[in-house]
C-alpha cells in the first residue's frame, strides 16, 4: 500500500470523544517504550507524526491519525509503566480497556512486544484478556534491528511456542524495526487486505 497522506486528527481522553466517522481503524498497544509511536511514524513515513521518547509513558491519550483519507491509525498509551499505572486499580488503565472494549470501529489491534525479551507476564495477560473479550489482534515484534538474525529467529520461535501452550492457533505475526523499516511493507499490505474486507 502506498501512503499518500497521513495527518493527526485528535487526541481523546476517552472512547466517546474519538472520531465519529465509520472508517476502519487499527490501534497500536503494548508496554510503555516498546515502540508504538515510532512504528506509526515508520509506517506512515512521517517522522514527527506520533511523539516518541526514550522515557516510558510518553503517549498518554488516544491519538487518531487519518491515512489516505480512508482509515485510521491509533496510537495508545502504553501499559506496565509503574509511575503511570500506580493510581489505577487495574494493570491496564481504564482508558485502554474502555477503548478496546467499546470502540466499534476498531478493526484490529496490533499488540507490540520487544523481540529482545523473554515473553513477559503482563503481555501474556493482556493477550489473554483480548482472547476473553474476543478482540481481533495481531502480534508485532519490535526493535528487530537490535538482535542478530539467529537470535531474532529463535526469540520469535520461542514466543510462538509459549503462545501455543494456551492458544490453539497463532495470531498473525509481524517482525518489525522502526530503525530499518523491516516489516513495514508486510504490515501495510495486511492492513490493505483488511480494509478491502471491512464493510
Chain residues binding ligand GTP by CB under 6 A are 32-38, 52-54, 56-59, 77-78, 142-143, 145-146, 177-179
Q: How far apart are CA 88 and CA 73, in angstroms?
A: 26
- Candidate residues 58, 64, 143, 184; the one interacting with Mg ion per rule CB under 5 A: 58
Choose one: 54-62, 120-128, 152-160, 186-194; the region binding Mg ion (CB under 5 A). 54-62
Choose one: 22-30, 36-44, 159-167, 168-176; the region binding Mg ion (CB under 5 A). 36-44
What is the total count of residues that contact Mg ion (CB under 5 A)? Answer: 4
How many CA atoms lie less than 13 Å away from 178 in the CB half-sphere? 23
Q: Radius of gyration (Cα) for the chain, nearest Å?
A: 16
49 vs 106, which CB is nearer to ligand GTP?
Answer: 49
For β-strands 137-142 and 62-67, DSSP reports them as unpaired
What is the nearest approach in angstroms of ligand GTP to the Cβ of residue 152?
A: 12
What is the strand order of the sheet 71-75 is part of?
A: 6-12, 62-67, 71-75, 25-30, 106-114, 137-142, 173-175
Residues 6+ apart with CB under 8 A from 46: 6
What is the nearest approach in angstroms of ligand GTP to the Cβ of residue 96?
A: 11
Q: Which residue is nearest to ligand GTP (CB)?
A: 78
DSSP 132-198: HHT--EEEEEE-GGGS-HHHHHHHHHHHHHHHHTT-SSPPPEEE--TTT-TTHHHHHHHHHHHHHH-
The option from Mg ion, ligand GTP, none interacting with 177 (CB < 5 to 8 A, set by class) reads ligand GTP
59 forms part of the interface with Mg ion (CB under 5 A): yes
Show contacts with Mg ion in window 140-199 (CB under 5 A): none
What is the nearest approach in angstroms of Mg ion to the Cβ of residue 57?
A: 9
* Interface positions with Mg ion (CB under 5 A): 36-37, 58-59
Amino acid at each position: 500500500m502506498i501512503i499518500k497522506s497521513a495527518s493527526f486528527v485528535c487526541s481523546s481522553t476517552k472512547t466517546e470523544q474519538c472520531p465519529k466517522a465509520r472508517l476502519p481503524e487499527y490501534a497500536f498497544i503494548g508496554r510503555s517504550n516498546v515502540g508504538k509511536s515510532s512504528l506509526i511514524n515508520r509506517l506512515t513515513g512521517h517522522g514527527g507524526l506520533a511523539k516518541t521518547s526514550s522515557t516510558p509513558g510518553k503517549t498518554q491519550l488516544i491519538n487518531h491519525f487519518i491515512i489516505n483519507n480512508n482509515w485510521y491509525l491509533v496510537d495508545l498509551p502504553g501499559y506496565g509503566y509503574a509511575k503511570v499505572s500506580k493510581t489505577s486499580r487495574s494493570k491496564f488503565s481504564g482508558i485502554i480497556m474502555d477503548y478496546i472494549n467499546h470502540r466499534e470501529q476498531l478493526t484490529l489491534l496490533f499488540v507490540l512486544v520487544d523481540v529482545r525479551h523473554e515473553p513477559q507476564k503482563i503481555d501474556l495477560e493482556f493477550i489473554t484478556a483480548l482472547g476473553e473479550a474476543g478482540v481481533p489482534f495481531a502480534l508485532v515484534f519490535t526493535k528487530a534491528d537490535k538482535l542478530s538474525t539467529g537470535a531474532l529467529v529463535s526469540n520469535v520461535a520461542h514466543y510462538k511456542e509459549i503462545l501455543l501452550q494456551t492458544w490453539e492457533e497463532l495470531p498473525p505475526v509481524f517482525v518489525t524495526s522502526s530503525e530499518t523499516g523491516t516489516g513495514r511493507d508486510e504490515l501495510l499490505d495486511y492492513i490493505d487486505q483488511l480494509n478491502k474486507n471491512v464493510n
